[in-house]
């Protein structure tokens, strides 16, 4: 059973809340507009190897969508690029970054004013692995789902 976490409440509850349970991702919904750069800075204090890979993920994605359309001979304005542009316009900048939790566990994350998510491309991880990260995230207006 999964549960939403709010500041001051448990990270997860129910029979599957074991600290050793495999986790695929952490989803975060902002309960008010999120200062995602402050979140990244707080994470970087605890995890010094944290670094931004994509300063504006939507801009990068939009330029990739347009480049693919041009290679295929399609107009730059098409359903795929228009969808990316619409979301980018609604949400604004989204940062893509990496968080080195420990040797062998590197989380990729994306955050914008509405929240975001963290996941590991190589493997699952446990709640115990990310307890310090979750403690940092609880300092911000985020509802988390694991």
**pLDDT at 26 exceeding the cut of 70:** yes
Element containing residue 115 per DSSP (H, E): strand 115-120
pLDDT at 112: 96
Three-class HEC string of 24-82? CEEEEEECCCCCHHHHHHHHHHHCCCCEEEECCHHHHHHHHHHHHHHHCCCCCCCHHHH
3 close to 11: Cβ distance less than 8 angstroms: no
How many C-beta neighbours within 10 Å does residue 4 have?
13
For the chain, report the end-to-end CA distance as a whole number of angstroms.
10
Neighbours of 34 (CB within 10 A): 20
Domain boundaries, the chain: 22-55+93-146, 57-92
- pLDDT for 5: 46
> Please, is 87 exposed, middle or buried when counting C-beta atoms within 10 Å of its C-beta (0-12, 13-18, 19+)?
middle
Summarised one tens digit per residue, pLDDT across range 63-99 is: 999 999 999 999 999 999 999 999 999 999 999 999 9
Q: Are 94 and 57 in contact (CB under 8 A)?
A: yes
């Amino acid at each position: 059973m999964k549960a939403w976490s709010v500041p001051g409440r448990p990270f997860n509850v129910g029979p599957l809340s074991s600290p050793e349970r495999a986790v695929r991702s952490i989803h975060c919904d902002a309960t008010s507009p999120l200062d995602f750069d402050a979140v990244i800075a707080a994470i970087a204090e605890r995890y010094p190897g944290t670094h931004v890979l994509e300063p504006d993920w939507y801009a990068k994605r939009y330029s990739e969508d347009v480049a693919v359309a041009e290679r295929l001979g399609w107009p730059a304005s098409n359903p795929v690029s228009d969808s990316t542009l619409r979301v980018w316009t609604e949400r604004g900048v989204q940062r893509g970054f990496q968080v080195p939790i420990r040797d062998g566990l590197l989380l990729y994350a994306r955050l914008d004013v509405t929240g975001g998510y963290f996941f590991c491309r190589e493997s699952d991880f446990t709640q115990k692995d990310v307890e310090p990260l979750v403690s940092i995230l609880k300092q911000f207006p985020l509802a988390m789902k694991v």
